[in-house]
Amino acid sequence: MIRLRIPDHGETVVHDLIRGEVSFSNRDLDDFIMIKSNGRPTYNFASVVDDAAMQITDVIRAEEHLSNTPRQLLCLEALGYSPPRYAHVPMILAPDRSKLSKRHGATAVEEFRSQGYLPEALVNYMALLGWSPGEKEILPLSEMIPLFSLSRVNKTAAVYDTTKLTWMNGQYLRLVPPERLAAEALPFYEAEGLLQPPLAGEEREYYEKVVRAVSDRVKTLAEMAAASTYFYREIEPYDEKGVKKHFRREGSAALLRRAADLLRRLQPFDLESVEKAYRGLSEELEISTGRLIHPTRLAISGKTMGPGLFEIIVLLGREKTAARLEEAAHWIEQNPNPLA
């Protein structure tokens, strides 16, 4: 085997673009093996020769390689090569600050795609793990490239946080053009069993309206499909907390029937007219608009949150909305408050 003779005294200094000057005592560096007894080169020797042969100017790698760098510098010096510039970036840790592993989440790009994340959101999030461009967090790649510099890479380890990634993905869902959003979401609606591509005509138009309606309230494409079920299927069951809060109040069934009757007679049937009619009915009954809106939302969607109520009503249409209001009123009457 062949070893490199390390000086007995002095220091080897790594000029790191992120960490500054890092000194290593030569006494702590052994005469490391360059060529094994079987004739094969070791990593520290092979990487130096390979970098020189390819005229590598910058070596950017994980901080765990920092301890290899003084040996590589001594090897470069012995071979007469000019050293490249080195930058050792911090590790990425799990939320509990342990070493990141498979148990902490998706490990491949395909997994993120299957969970409903957009590629630009993932790129944006990964770029900010250990690097800070300033106060702005939502950065398309075209803006990110001119802003990037190694001088703004953090020295401390970054923490992998899927909560932050999911939030960021939600922001990108609002920025994507409607046509592309509909195309990206379609496989998730199909997997949810809500529709069967290819779509055309009125079915396609309805689908695109649903996507636009729910996109502001979700954070992934998978969430978007799950949040759209009531646009395609009958409601079962109603949200339990919503039932206790909005259906169990005295007079809720009567309110829903008044709303159903109102919508059946309403002309024209559009956002402005529906909203005006609901506010008018609230004034007539001398109740808050919320007293009418909340049980209506639960009746026609089964949920307590979602897109704007009047947008849901118009999308579902006059007959389906009125029918669901009547069904909810009947359900309330058939399922009295067990605590009453």
**Residue 252, both tokens:** 């809720």
Instruction: Kindly name the residue from 99, 102, 241, 245 that is annotated as catalytic.
Output: 102
Residue 155 phi, psi (nearest 5): -85, -25
- Find, among 60, 188, 59, the residue nearest to 118 by Cα: 188
- Angle at which helix 119-127 crosses helix 162-175, to 10 degrees, equals 130
What sign does the dihedral 204-205-208-209 (CA atoms) show? Answer: negative
Q: Active-site residue 102, yes or no?
A: yes
Count other Cβ atoms within 10 Å, centred on residue 334: 8
Q: Residue 338: is the preceding peptide bond cis (ω within 30°)?
A: no
Residue 143 phi, psi (nearest 5): -85, -30
**What is the rounded CA–CA span in Å between residue 219 and residue 226?**
11
**What is the rounded CA–CA span in Å between residue 84 and residue 53?**
12
**Residue 261, both tokens:** 């009757």
CA dihedral 228, 231, 236, 237 (to 10 degrees): 60
Alpha helices (H) in 9-68, listed in sequence order: 43-53
Residue 264 phi, psi (nearest 5): -65, -30
**Residue 197, both tokens:** 């591509």
Alpha helices (H) in the chain, listed in sequence order: 43-53, 69-79, 109-114, 119-127, 141-147, 162-175, 178-191, 201-214, 221-226, 240-242, 252-265, 271-285, 289-301, 309-316, 318-334
Distances 331 to 228, 231, 249, 254, 340 between C-alpha atoms, Å: 22, 20, 14, 12, 16
Which are the catalytic amino acids? 102
